[in-house]
Structure 1
Amino acid sequence: MFEKDPHLLIADDDRPFLNRLAKAMASRGFTVTMAESVADALSALRTQPPAFAVIDMRLGDGNGLDVITELKSRRPEARGVILTGYGNISSAVLAIKLGAFDYLAKPADADEVFFALMNGDAAAVGTIPQNPMSAERVRWEHIQRIYELCERNVSETARRLNMHRRTLQRILAKRAPR
């Protein structure tokens, strides 16, 4: 697919990162279109749906998942990678269900992005993670997943997790453990 159409859309509201990644991907042979917002990305998709896309999960004017959804509706075979600095399992699962090819945590370098676009999740098969999640992180991810499934309803999430609502609120207010 890369040889036939090397068109890549990169959507990220962090301009220095966007410029660095665009330059790095252009040096790898991609024809890069940059977008700093959901509106810009959707406009670029309507003009020419790319074969590849790298999209930040949270953009200034909306959610990058809207861009993935539109990309997959216009070009189902396109390979889209979601980048995020706010990673949790539930958002990763949602991104994959909506058609993302892979999901990378920021800061991701150009080599990681290139590998994800070219090989999909082949890296995950048969390899042991270099930094596996801690037990606290696994617990936090599970709580976040249930919270999302309960449509961000704290009382319902607390009931399903069999914990006090205030305890859950304290956990949700903290940053994710490493």
Structure 2
Amino acid sequence: MTDTAHNQDAIGADTSLLLVDDDKPFLHRLARAMEARGFSVTMAESVQDGIANVRHNPPAYAVVDLKLGDGNGLDVIEEIRKCRSDTHMIVLTGYGNIASAVNAVKLGAIDYLSKPADADDIFGALTRHAGEKAPVPENPMSADRVRWEHIQRVYEMCDRNVSETARRLNMHRRTLQRILAKRAPR
């Protein structure tokens, strides 16, 4: 069986996929990757666009970023659940915490992935059957790497402004500069 045929079997007849993320480069890369795997992709860059797309054509699958420029991605998840009860939904976030993961699952998300998640992880989570457990990662990130990734996300969110990043992280500016000057831990 070819990869395309296998993907089509995993997806099913309704291939509609809504991607909601305000990171344009990531959104477009993920859209191309999901189209290559057999999905019919619709993209939205905000909560408002996501909700409008859901109301127009509720998708069979959805990948929604938790933190969007105009609000919370959980609002999109909630709207999807109102319009269609069988949608397979994944929440992506760079700002993971247990409370938001629990909330996403309560609203109907089937999985919760931290960024950076690759297309294979997302495809696997979308097509996983009910009750099937996610595989344990072969090389989980170290605590130092998780901390470094978080600092990098906040730094980018602050448009690479060291002073603002240090303020948001409640960290001394010089300490932050030393961390940013080092290589990423493994």
Which residue is 1:26 aligned to?
35
Instruction: Give the Cα–Cα distance (whole angstroms) in 2 for the partners of residues 70 and 173 of structure 1.
Output: 35
Deviation of residue 132 (structure 1)?
7.1
Which residue is 1:93 aligned to?
102
Instruction: Give the Cα–Cα distance (whole angstroms) in 2 for the partners of residues 3 and 104 of structure 1.
Output: 22
Unmatched tracts of structure 1, length 5 or more: 138-171
Deviation of residue 2 (structure 1)?
2.6
Instruction: Give the Cα–Cα distance (whole angstroms) in 1 for the partners of residues 82 and 74 of structure 2.
Output: 12
Q: 1:130 to 1:67 in 2, by over 3 A?
A: same
Matched, 1:124 2:134: yes
Matched, 1:48 2:43: no
Paired amino acid for 1:74: C
Q: Is the 8 A contact 2:81 2:87 kept in 1?
A: yes
Instruction: Give the Cα–Cα distance (whole angstroms) in 2 for the partners of residues 114 and 128 of structure 1.
Output: 15
Matched, 1:58 2:100: no
Which residue is 1:150 aligned to?
none
1:10-25 equivalent positions in 2, closer than 5 A: 10-25=19-34
Paired amino acid for 1:68: I
Which residue is 1:164 aligned to?
none
Q: 1:61 to 1:30 in 2, by over 3 A?
A: same
Which residue is 1:107 aligned to?
116
Deviations 1:62-85 (A, max 9, x none): 100000011011101101100000
Unmatched tracts of structure 2, length 5 or more: 1-9, 147-168, 172-184
TM-score by length of 1: 0.71
Deviations 1:108-132 (A, max 9, x none): 110000000000573436x476427
1:133-144 equivalent positions in 2, closer than 5 A: none
Which residue is 1:152 aligned to?
none
Instruction: Give the Cα–Cα distance (whole angstroms) in 1 for the partners of residues 109 and 24 of structure 2.
Output: 22
Q: 1:77 to 1:173 in 2, by over 3 A?
A: farther
Paired amino acid for 1:26: E
Instruction: Give the Cα–Cα distance (whole angstroms) in 1 for the partners of residues 20 and 137 of structure 2.
Output: 30
Paired amino acid for 1:89: I
